[in-house]
Chains A and B, each alone.
Chain A
Amino acid sequence: MGAPVGVLGAESSGSWAVVPVRREATATRVTADGDFAEFARTALPGLLRYGHALTGNPHDAADLVQSVLEKIGSRWRGRHAFCDEPLAYVRRSMANAHVSQWRRTRRENLVADLPDHAVEQFDRLDNEPLWQALRGLPPRQRAVIVLRYYEGLSEIEIAETLGVTKGTVKSQASKALTTLRSCLRGR
């Protein structure tokens, strides 16, 4: 960040230099916030849908999207700061957060328009046997399945996304598909 350097330099050379540097920093910040707001606005529907696939229910999807977007937004310096498309970065972050977040705490829902207390009809996919079978998978196996069949990623890409080896991706996918087949056969 340029601002701290400018401010520190100004202290030794006279206070006049502080103002322009701060103004510039503030303007950059405002622009970055506006840019992030626009990114969030256009990305939210797709991210919630992706989160739904990852977590298995819309409430967890909202939790996941919200927490990941907040963290990324708090460090947002513009789209140019990402090596690739920021959306891809957010989606990878969501997959990782889903895998590492063994225990979830419901947060105040800010992003999804869901009834807070209606316990019936949590998920419009609840009648799908395959959806129910997916729900029984451990988070990492589910993430592998979603990255492969929802995102269309290759095994290497999935391995890079989740920070595991290609062998792990293979074995997790194999276990997941075996479980799913077995669940569906048992119905």
Chain B
Amino acid sequence: MDLDDELRRLFADDRLDVPVRQEAHRAVVTRAKRLRRRRRSRVVLGGGMLSVATMLLAGTAFGVGGDAPARQPMAAPETPALTSFTTEPPPTTTTVVPTSSVAPPVMATSTPVSTTTTTATTTSTSTTKPRPPAARLAFGPTAVGGLRLGMARDDAVASGLIQPNLTPVDAAGCQGYDWSGHANPPSHYSLLFSPKYGLVQIGGRADAETPEGVYDGASEADVRALYPDQAKPHVGGLEWVTPVPGNPNAHYWFVFADHMVADVRLELAVQDCYQ
């Protein structure tokens, strides 16, 4: 078999075609316009955002709309693919609404906020996506619903909480799992096990909430205020990596979509599955 020919044949195969959604180009244009508006707003209001962030860090008690210029009206909110979880109770025991000793910020409501910061006053109107009323699943500092970072794969599988992903082993030789009953597409792993380090990543839950109070739908300003330290930059640019209070061996990865947290991940700081 000539591999060159085989590759050319494969890449000419009709089955590579992906059906295009109707009016897809209009949707893309709309999103591009939104992105452009946001970028301009951020440039113009950068100073205002800084002021708001400073006030948040200083403990000023107001809502969470610090980056409101980046937010669109909530009439048509982004729907992260995993929101199908939100109406369902978490898999096991740990359905804890966090009771952290850290005073939680006012995050549950998205009441329009006005501040005395003149540069931000006109834009701090729309804020964090409202917290869904469903029970929250405590994420961290060391475990999620009985699954502990570093635990052996066999023990985690025995819990019945997880099932293998359609591509069960990734390129690095790590094993990818989904939450039971919620199969992800191939290679989209909610949980990842390293043969060497055990369970290295727990994510993929729309009902996740950290003890400090970050959940899916929290804004960039929320995350910045609650976790001011970034552990390391990441090439994706849409992810905020921060140390986990109370667990020096872990990081939180907050994955953003449309400037809101779309996924919370609790991960081992040292692992060998990905960069």
Q: Which residues of A are at the interface with B, using a C-beta cutoff of 8 A? A: 33, 36-38, 40-41, 44-45, 48-49, 51-53, 56-62, 66, 69-76, 100-114, 116-117, 119, 122-125, 128, 130-131, 134-138, 145-146, 149-150, 177, 180-181, 184
**Main SS of the interface on chain B?**
mixed
> Which chain A positions have C-beta within 8 A of B78?
108
Least Cβ–Cβ distance between A63 and chain B, in angstroms: 10
With the chains together, A175 CA to B193 CA distance in Å? Answer: 25
| Residues B18 and A74 in contact, CB atoms below 8 Å apart | no
Least Cβ–Cβ distance between B174 and chain A, in angstroms: 13
Least Cβ–Cβ distance between A89 and chain B, in angstroms: 15
Which residues of chain B (227-270) have a CB below 8 Å from chain A?
235-236, 238-239, 253, 255, 257, 262-263
**Residue B171 contacts which of A58, A136, A146, A184 (CB distance < 8 angstroms)?**
A136
B22 within 8 A of A: yes
**Residue A112 contacts which of B20, B26, B184, B236 (CB distance < 8 angstroms)?**
B20
| Residues A149 and B33 in contact, CB atoms below 8 Å apart | no
| Residues A57 and B185 in contact, CB atoms below 8 Å apart | yes
Q: What 9 pairs across the A-B complex have the smallest Cβ distances? A: A73-B32, A40-B25, A48-B18, A41-B25, A74-B35, A110-B27, A106-B81, A113-B19, A119-B183
Instruction: State which of B6-14, B110-118, B119-127, B154-162 sits at the interface with chain A.
Output: B6-14
| Residues A149 and B28 in contact, CB atoms below 8 Å apart | no
> Which chain B positions have C-beta within 8 A of A71?
32, 35
Least Cβ–Cβ distance between B190 and chain A, in angstroms: 11
| Residues B24 and A44 in contact, CB atoms below 8 Å apart | yes
Question: From B178, which residue of chain A is reached at the shortest CB distance?
Answer: A119
Q: Which residues of B are at the interface with A, using a C-beta cutoff of 8 A? A: 1, 3-4, 6-8, 10-11, 13, 15-22, 24-29, 31-33, 35-36, 39, 78-82, 84, 166-167, 171, 183-188, 235-236, 238-239, 253, 255, 257, 262-263, 274-275
Least Cβ–Cβ distance between A30 and chain B, in angstroms: 11
> Which chain B positions have C-beta within 8 A of A61?
18
> Which chain A positions have C-beta within 8 A of B188?
59, 104, 106
> Which chain B positions have C-beta within 8 A of A48?
17-18, 20
> Which chain A positions have C-beta within 8 A of B15?
124-125
With the chains together, A180 CA to B3 CA distance in Å? Answer: 8
Least Cβ–Cβ distance between A124 and chain B, in angstroms: 4
| Residues A145 and B81 in contact, CB atoms below 8 Å apart | no
With the chains together, A36 CA to B26 CA distance in Å? Answer: 10
Task: State whether A51 and B18 are in contact (beta carbons under 8 Å apart), knowing that A60-B185, A60-B187, A111-B27 are contacts in the complex.
Answer: yes
Least Cβ–Cβ distance between A9 and chain B, in angstroms: 19
**Residue A74 contacts which of B7, B32, B186, B187 (CB distance < 8 angstroms)?**
B32
| Residues A76 and B24 in contact, CB atoms below 8 Å apart | no
> Which chain B positions have C-beta within 8 A of A56?
186-187
Task: State whether A44 and B33 are in contact (beta carbons under 8 Å apart), knowing that A103-B239, A106-B82, A113-B20 are contacts in the complex.
Answer: no
Task: State whether A110 and B31 are in contact (beta carbons under 8 Å apart), knowing that A51-B18, A125-B16, A136-B171 are contacts in the complex.
Answer: yes
Task: State whether A105 and B262 are in contact (beta carbons under 8 Å apart), knowing that A51-B18, A122-B166, A125-B13 are contacts in the complex.
Answer: yes
Least Cβ–Cβ distance between B33 and chain A, in angstroms: 7
With the chains together, A41 CA to B188 CA distance in Å? Answer: 28
| Residues B274 and A108 in contact, CB atoms below 8 Å apart | no
| Residues B166 and A119 in contact, CB atoms below 8 Å apart | yes
**Residue A177 contacts which of B3, B82, B262 (CB distance < 8 angstroms)?**
B3
Least Cβ–Cβ distance between B77 and chain A, in angstroms: 10
With the chains together, A90 CA to B80 CA distance in Å? Answer: 25
With the chains together, A108 CA to B84 CA distance in Å? Answer: 12
> Which chain B positions have C-beta within 8 A of A101?
235-236
> Which chain A positions have C-beta within 8 A of B28?
40, 44, 66, 69-70, 73, 110-111
| Residues A116 and B81 in contact, CB atoms below 8 Å apart | yes
| Residues B29 and A103 in contact, CB atoms below 8 Å apart | no
Question: From A68, which residue of chain B is reached at the shortest CB distance?
Answer: B28
| Residues A138 and B262 in contact, CB atoms below 8 Å apart | no
| Residues A108 and B25 in contact, CB atoms below 8 Å apart | no
**Residue B186 contacts which of A57, A107, A146, A177 (CB distance < 8 angstroms)?**
A57
With the chains together, A46 CA to B272 CA distance in Å? Answer: 36
> Which chain A positions have C-beta within 8 A of B36?
74-75
| Residues A130 and B32 in contact, CB atoms below 8 Å apart | no
> Which chain A positions have C-beta within 8 A of B22?
113
